[in-house]
Structure formats: structure tokens, C-alpha cells
């Protein structure tokens, strides 16, 4: 479909090269202060879109210890509180992106096997990925970082907060249940990703996808039984019991069976959606979210009955056969049938305007303002099991907020500030005013590099002031979500 796909796909193999250059807005000075206690902040005189209990005109929000301490009119604040005058501005809960691949170092797909549950995206979080900052500047505060969709059962996933400037270890959302990516349809059966000269990989049909999942869970069930048996005997005081052999592939599936790990299942067609819900029922696990779920509107009642969430695109379609019946009314129709729906990005650039994408559900299907805003705030929080912490503006919740210059459900809205845990991680005015200094710093560095006496050999290291040659321009081409990246990546994300 589009260019942004290409960016996502091409950018990944080059991530290592790019990360060598200096990223903006993250000087040592900016990093310092993140270890200090969160300041007391009073956001004053804003239109507050609480999402949970309506809109407050000319309201205040008091933030203490990173939490929302008070919301309402004329909130009293301690004298040392930093005051943010938000007159004429709108405060929304921070945007939550339920399907993201930012901050991943290298490939998102371990595509060599049909069940890759042994790998974990949390192991390869790259806190220097510029996409973190760009999405933050789009009001995003939390993202569900998923493995790709090359496998019926993919890798383990992690929810992060976009704490730009913090080390990778500080990004994961504390206490959020980890997940695992499943994928149905064209990607795991590799309809669009044949590797030239390579052998076909099972599964190659939707029937095979079902059986891949069923046999993996059959194994996992037996494995769990063996461990339960072992633990019971040990607990009963038996000595010298030989434990079952650890299986890193099956461990996360056992967690799924025990409800300790969420299933986020990439899917498109109505038939495969129902297939997964049947398999889940058979093995007694819950499908937490269906991802993309572009034909979800056809089986919305069944999805609602299963208590499964749906995380979809606003208006993407026709980039492959299983996306040909996609409709922009999907989010609204599923919402009306009782499904908890979110609108996600699957793409770093798309995430920067998720507020606008949510707004489209007011046009396509007639959702109310609150319902539309929930698609990118409270609903994804519910889907990720973090709604006690984030997703609405309520006392006691994390102070994860996006401040816009106007109603965020508009293509004209611009983010002024983004706060996470009560800290301002993005400030538009500050960002703009710092650009000249960064530009100068870059020029000076390039000047120094150019003066180096010895000739540089590697083209990649040339600092000629020219554009990096490997940065292929996506605009003019558009390899869709398809197989651009190397073999390990062949599998697509969306």
C-alpha cells in the first residue's frame, strides 16, 4: 500500500547504520533530570477530554509524583507547582498505540519457523530509535511493541512507554502483562513472501495455520501437564524427582494457557477470525486482541461474544487480497456491536497522527466524539490490561497526557506537549527553539570530520554533507507491506 510500509521495511535492516548518527533532542542535558523526582505540575485552564467522564471546559489538572492528583475546575495547587498555562488548549489522555514496531533493533520477524514463540521483542528494544521521539511528538505515550506476522505463532511482545532519553531497561510498562503475536492468513502462509530458491514452509494454507496452532497448543498442554505433575510431586515432599526438560518454545504458550500472557493475533478474513476463536475455546485460552481484523465487521457479534478486543486501521485497504474487503467503517461497526475497539498504527509515521485516524470513525459510522477518542486512549488501555493505570484522565492514574493546540479529533490539531509519568517528555516550543543549536552542532561536527587529514575509506563513513546514500527514497516507490526485507524478515507486519 503505501510508502510508509516501505519506510518500515527498508528502515529496519539499516537501523544499525542509522543509529550511529547523532539523534536530535536528546543531548546529555536533556537526559539529566530524568532521575530527579517528578515535579509537581498544574495544567491550568484547559479543555480537558477525560474520556471517562466527559469534557471539562476551563479545567485544571494537578500532577504529583507522576500521577494525576486532581482534575476539575479551580484546582488548588502547592505554591511550588510548575504551572502550565493551557488556555485555549485541549488535554487528552496520552495516545496508546496497540500495534507498533518502533524501537526494535533489527528485524521484527523471526521468520524461519512457523512457531517462533521462543524469541522475545523485549530482548531487542532500541531506546535510541528516532521513531520513539517522533511518535512522542504525535502524542503517543504507550505502545504495544509486537513481533512480525511471518509465523502462525510468533514472538513474545512487550508494552513500552515512550520515555525518550531513558535506557532500554526503563521503557517497559511496569506490570503490564507481556504478550505473544499470532498471525493468520496470507502472511504466515507466506502468500506474498516466497523466497526465491527456498523451500516452501508449512503452513501454506489457512487450514495449515489452524493445525500449526492446534499442534503447538497440544504440545504445550502436555508439557504443562508434565510440569504440573512434577511440581505436585516436589510439593508433596518427594525427593530426586527429575524435572521435565525446559522447552523455551512452549513456556510462553503455557503462560497463555494460564492467562499470564496475552494473545495478540494478526488476522484479516472473517473465516480465520472465527477459526482462532474456536481453537482458543478448545484449548481454554483467551484471545486478548485481534490485530488488523479488517473483516471484523463481518463477524462482530462473534468477536463481542468471545470478549475479545479488536485493534484495526482507520482506512487502509487493497494492499493485498485479504485487505480488499476492508472498510473504514470497521471500527464504528464493531463498536456498535459491543466490541472494545482500538485504532492502531503498525507504522511509526502513522502513529504520529493516530488522533486524526480515530477522528475518521465519526465520519465513517458516526461514532461520538468520546467514542472516537476512546479508540486511541481508553480502549487500547483496556485491550492491553493497563486501563487502571492509563487511558483516561482520572485521579490516581499515571499522568500520561497529550496537550493539543485544539480538539485532537481534527487534521489541524498539533501536539504542544506530551507528558509521561508527570514529566514533560516533549515540548513543541522547546523543540523548535533548540533546532538552530542542533543544526550548528551538526555543521561543526561535519566541518571537523571534513578536515580530517587521512582519507576515509568506507563510503558509509563519509561525511561529505551529502545525504546518506543508503537512504532509499520511499516516496516514489511503494513495495507495500511486501517482501522487501531479507529472508528473516519475509513475513510482513501488517
Partner 1 sequence: MNRRYYFCFAAALSLSCACASSAQTATDYAITHAKVFTLAGPPIEDGTVLVHDGKISAVGSAINIPAGAQLIDAKGLQVYPGLFDPVTQMGLSEISAVRSTVDTTETGSFNPDLVAATAILPSSAHIPVTRAAGITEVVAAPASGGFDSGGESNLVGGQASAIHLAGWSIEDMAINKRAAMVIGWPAIETRTFDFTTFSIKEKPFADVKKEYDKQVNQLADYLEQARHYAQAMQSSTNNFQRDTKLEALAPVVRGEMPVLVFADDQRQIRDAVDFCDKQKLKMILAGASQAWKVKDLLRSKSVPVILGPTLAAPSEEDNPYDRLLTQPEELRAAGIKFAFGSFDNSFARRLGQQAANAVAHGLAYEEGLKAVTLYPAQIFGLDKELGTLEAGKIANFIVTNGDPLEVTTEVRYLFIKGQLISTDNKQKALYEKYLNRPKPAR
Instruction: Spell out, one character per residue from 14 to 33, where the chain touches partner 1: x when CB under 8 A holds, - when not.
Output: x---x--xxxx---------
Of the ranges 38-46, 59-67, 76-84, 314-322, which one interacts with partner 1 (CB under 8 A)? 314-322
CB nearer partner 1, residue 292 or residue 397: 292
Judged by CB under 8 A, the residue of 94, 139, 328, 391 near partner 1 is 328
Query: Binders of partner 1 among 25-84, rule CB under 8 A?
Result: none
Nearer to partner 1, 22 or 395 (CB): 22
Stretch in the footprint of partner 1 (CB under 8 A) among 82-90, 173-181, 187-195, 228-236: 187-195
Is residue 95 a contact point for partner 1 (CB under 8 A)?
no
Residue 102, burial from CB neighbour count under 10 angstroms (0-12, 13-18, 19+): buried
Q: Does 171 bind partner 1 (CB under 8 A)?
A: no
- Under the binding rule (CB under 8 A), the answer on residue 363 touching partner 1 is yes
From 154, 270, 263, 290, select the one nearest 212 (Cα to Cα): 154
Dihedral sign (CA 424, 129, 405, 345)? negative
What is the maximal distance between C-alpha atoms in the chain? 74
The Cα–Cα gap between 77 and 141 comes to 25
Binding residues with partner 1: total (CB under 8 A): 95
Q: List for the chain the helix, strand, coil content (%; round to 5).
A: 30, 20, 50
Can you say how many angstroms the Cα of residue 182 is from the centroid of all Cα atoms in its chain?
A: 15
In our burial notation (b when 16+ CB lie closer than 10 A, e otherwise), range 271-290 reads ebbbbbbebbeebebebbbb
From the list 139-147, 162-170, 195-203, 235-243, the region that binds partner 1 by CB under 8 A is 195-203
What is the residue whose three cell numbers read 515432599?
237
For 435, residues 6+ apart whose C-beta sits below 8 A from its C-beta are 24
Q: Judged by CB under 8 A, which of 305, 437, 446, 450 binds partner 1? A: 305
- Given candidates 300, 343, 354, 390, which one binds partner 1 under the rule CB under 8 A? 300
Q: Does 365 bind partner 1 (CB under 8 A)?
A: yes
Among 64, 134, 181, 206, binds partner 1 (CB under 8 A): 134
Q: Which residues of 222-240 are buried (b: 16+ CB within 10 A; e: fewer)?
A: ebbeebeeeeeeeeeeeee
399-428: contacts with partner 1 (CB under 8 A) = 409-414
Cβ atoms within 10 A of the Cβ of 466, count? 7
Least separation in angstroms between residue 406's CB and partner 1 is 9
Q: Which of residues 16, 241, 321, 450 is near partner 1 by CB under 8 A?
A: 321
The count of residues in the chain is 494
15, 90, 26: which is closest to 406 by C-alpha?
A: 90
User: Binding to partner 1 by residue 196, rule CB under 8 A?
Assistant: yes
- The span of 60-68, 162-170, 201-209, 347-355 binding partner 1 (CB under 8 A) equals 347-355
Q: Does 319 bind partner 1 (CB under 8 A)?
A: yes
Q: Which of residues 425-484 bind partner 1 (CB under 8 A)?
A: 431-432, 435, 438, 442, 459-460, 462, 466-484
Spatial contact of 84 and 399, defined as CB atoms under 8 Å apart = no
Near partner 1 in 135-164, by CB under 8 A: 137
Least Å distance, CB 316 to partner 1, is 7
Amino acid at each position: 500500500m503505501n510508502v510508509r510500509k516501505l519506510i518500515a521495511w527498508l528502515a529496519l535492516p539499516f537501523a544499525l547504520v542509522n543509529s550511529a548518527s547523532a539523534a536530535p533532542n536528546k543531548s546529555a542535558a536533556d537526559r539529566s533530570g530524568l532521575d530527579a523526582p517528578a515535579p509537581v505540575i498544574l495544567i491550568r485552564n484547559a479543555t480537558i477530554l477525560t474520556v471517562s467522564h466527559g469534557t471539562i471546559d476551563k479545567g485544571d489538572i494537578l500532577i504529583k509524583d507522576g500521577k494525576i492528583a486532581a482534575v476539575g475546575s479551580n484546582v488548588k495547587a502547592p505554591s511550588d507547582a510548575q504551572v502550565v498555562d493551557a488556555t485555549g488548549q485541549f488535554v487528552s489522555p496520552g495516545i496508546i498505540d496497540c500495534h507498533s514496531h518502533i524501537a526494535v533493533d533489527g528485524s521484527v520477524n523471526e521468520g524461519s519457523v512457523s512457531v517462533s514463540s521462543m524469541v522475545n521483542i523485549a530482548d531487542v528494544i532500541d531506546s535510541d530509535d528516532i521513531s520513539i521521539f517522533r511518535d512522542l511528538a504525535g502524542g503517543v505515550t504507550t505502545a504495544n511493541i509486537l513481533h512480525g506476522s511471518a509465523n502462525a505463532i510468533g514472538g513474545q511482545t512487550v508494552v513500552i512507554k515512550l520515555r525518550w532519553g531513558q535506557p532500554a531497561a526503563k521503557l517497559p510498562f511496569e506490570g503490564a502483562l507481556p504478550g505473544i503475536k499470532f498471525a493468520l492468513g496470507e502472511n504466515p502462509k507466506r502468500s506474498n513472501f516466497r523466497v526465491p530458491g527456498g523451500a516452501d514452509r508449512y503452513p501454506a494454507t489457512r487450514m495449515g495455520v489452524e493445525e500449526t496452532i492446534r499442534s503447538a497448543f497440544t504440545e504445550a498442554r502436555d508439557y504443562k501437564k508434565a510440569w504440573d505433575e512434577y511440581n505436585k510431586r516436589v510439593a508433596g515432599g518427594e525427593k530426586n524427582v527429575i524435572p521435565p526438560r525446559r522447552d523455551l518454545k512452549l513456556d510462553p504458550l503455557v503462560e497463555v494457557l494460564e492467562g499470564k500472557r496475552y494473545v495478540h493475533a494478526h488476522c484479516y478474513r472473517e473465516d480465520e477470525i472465527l477459526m482462532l476463536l474456536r481453537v482458543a475455546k478448545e484449548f481454554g485460552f483467551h484471545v486478548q486482541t485481534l490485530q488488523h481484523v479488517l473483516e471484523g465487521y463481518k463477524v462482530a457479534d462473534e468477536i463481542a461474544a468471545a470478549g475479545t478486543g479488536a485493534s484495526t486501521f482507520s482506512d487502509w485497504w487493497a494492499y493485498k487480497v485479504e485487505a480488499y474487503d476492508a472498510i473504514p467503517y470497521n471500527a464504528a461497526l464493531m463498536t456498535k456491536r459491543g466490541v472494545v475497539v482500538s485504532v492502531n498504527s503498525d507504522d511509526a509515521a502513522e502513529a504520529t497522527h493516530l488522533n486524526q485516524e480515530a477522528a475518521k470513525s465519526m465520519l465513517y459510522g458516526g461514532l461520538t466524539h468520546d467514542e472516537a477518542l476512546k479508540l486511541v486512549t481508553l480502549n487500547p488501555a483496556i485491550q492491553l490490561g493497563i486501563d487502571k493505570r492509563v487511558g483516561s484522565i482520572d485521579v490516581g492514574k499515571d499522568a500520561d497526557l497529550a496537550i493539543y493546540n485544539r480538539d485532537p479529533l481534527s487534521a489541524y490539531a498539533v501536539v504542544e506537549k506530551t507528558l509521561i509519568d508527570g514529566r514533560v517528555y516533549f515540548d513543541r516550543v522547546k523543540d523548535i527553539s533548540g533546532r538552530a543549536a542542533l543544526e550548528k552542532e551538526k555543521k561543526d561536527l561535519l566541518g571537523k570530520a571534513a578536515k580530517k587529514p587521512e582519507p576515509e575509506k568506507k563510503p558509509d563513513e563519509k561525511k561529505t554533507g551529502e545525504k546518506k546514500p543508503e537512504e532509499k527514497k520511499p516516496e516514489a516507490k511503494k513495495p507495500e507491506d511486501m517482501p522487501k526485507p531479507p529472508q528473516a524478515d519475509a513475513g510482513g507486519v501488517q
